[in-house]
Structures are given as C-alpha cells and as structure tokens.
Homo-oligomer: A and B are copies of this chain.
C-alpha cells in the first residue's frame, strides 16, 4: 500500500517549505509522481527519498546545479562512474577551500586590526584601525610586521 503525501505533508516530513519544494520542481530537481484531477501534487515514498537526498546534499554544501548532476547519476548508476561523483565532490571541495582561504585572510586582518586598537572610550583621533585603513596597509604584511616589532 503506497501512501501518497500532499505537498504540505512532504514539507512537514522534510522540513522544506512547500514553496521550496515547488521551486525545486521548477528547477528539475524533484517531481510529484502523480497529480490529482484538480492538479494537486502527490508524492510517493520514492519521491520522499529523492527529496531527502536533495536536502542532505544541500546540507553538505552542494549547489542545486551540483545536485542536479548527482541526481542523474543516482537514477542511472550503471551509466556513471565513481569518478563522475568524486569529480563533482572534489570541485565543490576546491570551491569551499578557496572561500576558506579568503575568509581566513579576512579573519587574520580583522584580528590584527582589533589587536592594534585599544577599543576604549577615548575618542578616535588616533585610532589605529582608522589609521591602518587610511594607510591602506591592510593587505601588506607590513601591518603585521609593524605590530610584531612594537610588541
């Protein structure tokens, strides 16, 4: 006995809003196996599993486009290799690593700025953060160097 779910029920089961589910459908990620005569979507267990796959992949950092590719592998595993899958995954990891590097650099800069400034209630006439930004010194190592010397 197949239990068919309406969109709100699928929403409840997956934690994705009905809006999002329709959005995913519009972008070809998922589909309701059947529709009522009135056009209401009805989802099977297999549909639910597919949606959960999408959700898990989203949580893992994959874009909808990545997921689209992963899904076409999932439905026809014989026609794809493990390498196809790792290629997608590796590419995503590369992107994540690139973004991490960028953010680490920002983190470093912001930490240096914070360390350099007293942060107190005195007025900002000689605030070293404002001064550093004014000197454009932030990208250069000089800023970190200068701080190091004075420590």
* A interface residues with partner B (beta carbon < 8 Å): 49, 52-53, 55-57, 59-61, 70, 73-74, 77-86, 89-90, 92-93, 96-97, 99-100, 103-104, 106-107, 109-111, 113-114, 117-125, 127, 129-130, 133-134, 136-139
How many identical subunits does the complex contain?
A: 2
Query: Please, which residues of chain B bring their CB within 8 A of the CB of A60?
Result: 106, 109-110, 113, 133, 138
Q: How far is the CA of A60 from the CA of B85 in the complex (A)?
A: 36
Flag if B81 contacts A134 (CB, 8 Å): no
Flag if A125 contacts B78 (CB, 8 Å): yes
* Additional 10 contacts, C-beta under 8 A, given A52-B136, A60-B106, A85-B119: A60-B138, A73-B130, A77-B124, A86-B117, A89-B114, A89-B129, A90-B114, A93-B107, A93-B114, A96-B110
22 CB < 8 A contacts A-B: A53-B136, A56-B134, A56-B136, A56-B138, A59-B138, A60-B110, A60-B113, A61-B110, A77-B123, A78-B124, A78-B125, A80-B123, A81-B120, A82-B122, A82-B124, A82-B129, A83-B119, A85-B130, A92-B110, A93-B114, A96-B106, A96-B107
